Amino acid sequence: MFEQKPKHSMMKKLICVLLTAVLLAVPAVSLASAEEEPERYPFVFVSGFAGWGQYETALNEALPYWGRLNGDLMAQLNAAGFECYAASVDPVASAWDRACELYAQLTGNVVDYGKVHSEKYGHERYGTDFSKNPLLTGWDDGSGRLAKIHLIGHSFGGATIRLFAQLMASGSKAVQEGTPSGELSGLFTGGKADLIFSVTTLAAPHNGTTLTILNKPIKTLYSLGPIAYANEKLTGTQLGATLDYIKGLSDIALLVRDPDTGVLDLNPDGAAELNKIVSTIPGIYYFSVPTDATAKTTLLGNRLPDVKTADPGLWFPITFLGSTTGKTAGGIVYDKSWLNNDGVVNTISTVAPFGQPQQKYDEYDLQPGIWNIMPTYRGDHAAIIGGLTKRSDVTDYYIAHLRLLERLAG
HEC profile for 75-121?
HHHHHCCCCEEECCCCCCECHHHHHHHHHHHHHCCEEECCHHHHHHH
Phi, psi angles (nearest 5°) of residue 85: -135, 145
**Cβ of 103: how many Cβ atoms within 10 Å?**
23
Q: So what's the pLDDT on residue 137?
A: 83
Known catalytic residue: 154? no
Distance from C-alpha of 409 to C-alpha of 148, rounded to nearest angstrom: 10
Mean pLDDT of the chain: 83
Task: Give the CB-side neighbour count of residue 263, counting CA atoms within 13 A.
Answer: 18
Q: Which amino acid is at 268?
A: P
Q: Which residues, other chains included, contact 378 with Cβ-Cβ below 8 Å and sequence gap of 6+?
A: 292, 293, 306, 309
Look at residue 249 and tell me whether its pLDDT is greater than 70.
no
Residue of 154, 206, 381, 401 marked catalytic:
381
- Name the CATH code of domain 43-209+259-292+345-409 (choices 3.40.50.1820, 3.40.640.10, 3.20.20.80, 1.10.10.10): 3.40.50.1820
User: Parallel, antiparallel, or unpaired for β 326-327 and 333-334?
Assistant: antiparallel
Please indicate whether residue 164 or residue 296 has the higher confidence score (pLDDT): 164
Better-scored residue on pLDDT, 97 or 296: 97
Alpha-carbon gap, residue 392 to 396, rounded angstroms: 11
**Confidence check: pLDDT of 215 > 60:** no
Phi and psi at 73, nearest 5°, equal -65, -35
> What pLDDT does residue 212 have?
83
Asked whether 288 and 364 are in contact (CB, 8 A), the reply is no
What does the pLDDT look like over 100-144, one tens digit per residue? 999 999 999 999 999 999 999 999 999 999 999 999 887 755 554
Span 263-309, pLDDT tens digits: 889 999 999 999 999 999 999 999 999 999 999 788 888 999 999 99
Angular region, 301: left φ>0, alpha ψ -120 to 50, beta rest: left
Report phi then psi at 185, rounded to 5.
-65, 145
Catalytic residue from among 97, 112, 342, 380: 342
Position 26, amino acid? V
- Among 155, 172, 185, 349, the one annotated catalytic: 155
pLDDT value for 60: 94
List Cα–Cα distances, 200 to 43, 102, 109, 165, 343, in angstroms.
Answer: 10, 16, 25, 11, 20
Helices 225-233, 238-251: crossing angle, 10 deg rounding: 130
Helix (H) or strand (E) holding 315: helix 315-321
pLDDT for residue 350 is more than 50: yes
Nearest to 109 by CA among 89, 94, 140, 130: 130
Q: 306 an active-site residue?
A: no
The CA radius of gyration of the chain, in Å to the nearest whole number, is: 26
Asked if 393 is an active-site residue, the reply is: no
Q: Mean pLDDT throughout 40-63?
A: 95
AA identity, residue 212: T
Asked which of 35-39, 198-202, 283-287, 316-320 is least confident by mean pLDDT, the reply is: 35-39
pTM of the model: 0.82
